[in-house]
Amino acid sequence: MNSHLSRPFIGLFLCLLLIAEVSAQTGRFQQAIDYEIAVNLDVKTNQYTGSQIISYTNNSPDELDKVFIHLYYNAFQPGSMMDERSRTIADPDRRVADRISKLKPDEIGYLHVTELKMNGKPVKFTEEETILVVYLDEPIQPNSTVKFESKFMGQTPIQIRRSGRDGEEGVRYSMAQWYPKVANYDEQGWHSNPYIGREFYGIWGDFDVKITLDKTYVIGGTGYLQNPNEIGHGYQDEGVKVPSPKGNTLTWHFKAPMVHDFMWAADPKYQHDKVQMENGITVHHFFIPGEKTSENWEKLKEYTPKAINYLSQHFGQYPYKQFSVVQGGDGGMEYAMSTLITGERSIRSLVGVMVHELAHSWFHGVLGSNESLYPWMDEGFTSYASSLAMSSIYSESKNPLAGSYSGYFKLAKSGLEEPMSTHSDHYNTNSAYSSAAYSKGATFLAQLGYVIGDEVRDQGMLKYFDTWKFKHPNVNDFIRVMEKESGMELDWYKEYFVNSTKTIDYGVKSVNPQGDKTEIILERLGLMPMPVDLIITYKDGSSEQVYLPLVIMRGEKENESGMPERILTEDWPWTNYTKSIMINKKMDTIKSVEIDPSMRMADLERENNKIEF
Ligand SMILES: [Zn+2]
């Protein structure tokens, strides 16, 4: 058979080749990048110059004749897209509002690439505000690695949004979004989003960063310090006497493996405390001591390791050897291995913001979903995880997700709701964005427990982390994990809850005597269909359950622990607005019938869920 191929065999062979070609073209790939950056910051002018060597690997099947590089600091200039947007949106963010338009030349931010070479040859580039467009005469070939060498200069803006200098609490430098950062290219193409206001999407790689600045400054942020015994400032090994530096500056050398961003903050007044966890993780805290900080930051040191342990147990092992909580920024913002948070807070608020930003390490740091397209997969899942972590840390018994549900209900009733599939910069209002991303995103997960069972959802979250860590999952990837975990089809759940603003409302329409039996009529009043758990409580104190899954789920959740015994399981097709159920008990034995007493289903009108006699 191997001496010659008959015509049909050749046809099949060609066909298979074609299929292989197509799947290579449509399959998933990830770009890879390594950064080597050296930067020198002048703490008098707030300006910096730097050089950058980027090793960029094109794992896509495409030739790239352009590359896009983020220059985020150019947003902090009068007339920028961020400036316009923050002044014209209906509900401005008070941190930005009209502040950018009033910045003086020494207060604006900028970041310019002054020289750029690829593989040793100069390349053409133009600056389009916050994006540098690089034109390549010689395209980057699939499966090849190129080397970009650049020089850049920047000015750190007055603290307005996320990063900057001289913030309200007096922190001198919160250096996030400070370096030229290559935009991501994936199976959906380039993501060269201008910096309007929302969050980020990056490529994982190894960062090697050398920062030179005034020797009195203490730096905290992303990365493992390589020269702690030269630097001191609380980093040195125990018992080491740190030599005093010769000049006025120190050069800090950090390495950060497998991260998609690099943040640092610096202040001469920082107190630096280290906590060594048993599992080998070192937790660093940096804050400016004072009446409004010292006591609570001292207490905070206890909470950070607790939160790391809780989140690792429930959402997957934290993969880095370090986490740094740094006072700075303008509220709370997550970065690789670190966070910038404002520090003059009550202890509860301080712990709350730390836990939230830390929880981002799982969804932003390690899963790394595109936050322009799927902000709720980061903010919502993070809010969900941090609410559970807070509830556990403070041993609270009330529903930790109650706030997320009420935030979502308020949004749904406001008339301002937009689908969660909206690009994060393009929501009509800031409030519709944040209620969708944070509250509805968290509700999505909490409610998923109602659909597939809490335990299955919890196992699914660990599976999700394991399957998709360092791979940029999208909404379908998440749904597929949960489908496999539950054995159900869940596309409808995504279509309705993510891609539409249709809402849920089920009600008990009537309970009618039928001789020795009782008929219960339920109705669907909302546009989004859901499975229904109906609990019947009898006057003798016992209770039973009727379970009505959707046909389109093609499966049933197992009865959850603590739930009454199921006396009936029957599909309720979504096309039917009412459902009649017959119970083999006399009506006068019934005390109440109630749809979802667990209140995990985001039912907008709870009043009609229960009839009590
Ligand atoms: Zn967040």
pLDDT digits (tens, 9 = 90+) for 563-572: 999 999 999 9
Residue 239 has pLDDT above 90, yes or no: yes
Interval between CA 414 and ligand 1 midpoint (Å) = 23
Contact at 8 Å (CB) between 95 and 167? no
Give the confidence band of 26 by pLDDT, cuts at 50, 70, 90.
Answer: low
pLDDT at 497 over 80: yes
Ligand 1 center to 179 CA (angstroms): 22
- 3-class SS at 50? strand
- Distance between Cα 469 and ligand 1 center (Å): 18
What pLDDT, on the 0 to 100 scale, is given for residue 455? 98
What is the arithmetic mean of pLDDT over 405-409? 98
| 25 pLDDT above the threshold of 70 | no
**Dist. CA 334 → ligand 1 center (Å):** 7
Pairing of strands 224-225, 249-259: antiparallel
**Predicted pLDDT of residue 15:** 47
Confidence of residue 299 (pLDDT cuts 50, 70, 90): very high
Does the pLDDT value for residue 13 go beyond 90?
no
What one-character DSSP code corresponds to residue 462?
H
Q: Is the pLDDT of residue 14 over 70?
A: no
* Whether residue 370 has pLDDT greater than 50: yes
What predicted TM-score, i.e. pTM, was given to this entire model?
A: 0.94
pLDDT in tens, 191-207: 999 999 999 999 999 99
List alpha helices for 267-395, DSSP H. Answer: 294-315, 347-360, 375-393
CA of 332 to the centre of ligand 1 (A): 7
Do the beta carbons of residue 375 and residue 364 sit within 8 Å? no
Give the helix ranges, DSSP H, for 281-346.
294-315
Question: Do 472 and 186 meet the contact criterion of CB atoms below 8 Å apart?
Answer: yes
Residue 358 alpha carbon to ligand 1 centre in Å:
9
CA of 224 to the centre of ligand 1 (A): 24
> Residue 407 Cα, ligand 1 centroid: separation in angstroms?
15
If you measure from the C-alpha of residue 360 to the centroid of ligand 1, how many angstroms do you get, rounded to a whole number? 6
The strand order across the sheet containing 124-128 reads 124-128, 131-140, 64-70, 181-182
Backbone angles phi, psi at 251, to 5 degrees: -110, 115
What is the pLDDT confidence band of residue 3, given thresholds at 50, 70 and 90? very low
User: What's the CA-to-centroid distance between 197 and ligand 1, angstroms?
Assistant: 14
What is the Å distance from ligand 1's center to 3 Cα? 64
- Rounded Cα distance between 547 and 568, Å, is 6
Say yes or no to pLDDT of 607 above 60: yes
pLDDT of 289: 98
Q: Give the pLDDT band of residue 352 (cuts 50, 70, 90).
A: very high
Q: Return the axis-axis angle of helices 402-414 and 375-393, rounded to nearest 10°.
A: 140
Residue 22's pLDDT is 43
> What separation in Å is there between the alpha carbon of 149 and the centre of ligand 1?
33
- Tell me the average pLDDT across 20-27: 50
Which of the four pLDDT bands, split at 50, 70 and 90, describes residue 362?
very high
Amino acid at 325: V
Beta strands, E only, 342-483: none
Ligand 1 center to 333 CA (angstroms): 7
Give pLDDT tens digits for 553-604. Answer: 999 999 999 999 999 999 999 999 999 999 999 999 999 999 999 999 999 9
- Give burial (CB, 10 Å; 0-12/13-18/19+) of 463: middle
Q: List, in order, residues 6 or more apart from 205 with CB less than 8 Å away.
A: 32, 33, 34, 35, 258, 259, 260
Q: pLDDT tens digits for 132-167?
A: 999 999 999 999 999 999 999 999 999 999 999 999
User: How do residues 410-465 score in pLDDT, each as one tens digit?
Assistant: 999 999 999 999 999 999 999 999 999 999 999 999 999 999 999 999 999 999 99
Measure 376 CA to ligand 1 centroid, in angstroms.
Answer: 10
Residue 337 φ/ψ region, left for φ over 0, alpha for ψ in the -120 to 50 degree band, beta for the rest: left
Percent of the chain whose pLDDT exceeds 90:
96
How far, in Å, is the centroid of ligand 1 from the Cα of 94? 18
State in Å: Cα 160 to ligand 1 middle.
17
Cα 363 to ligand 1 centroid, rounded to whole Å: 10
CB 214 within 8 A of CB 268: yes
Q: What pLDDT score does 27 carry? A: 77
Q: What is the pLDDT of residues 458-496, one digit of tens each?
A: 999 999 999 999 999 999 999 999 999 999 999 999 999
Residue 228 has pLDDT above 50, yes or no: yes
Structure tokens at 85: 């947007």
What is the distance between the alpha carbons of residues 555 and 570, in angstroms, rounded to a whole number?
A: 11
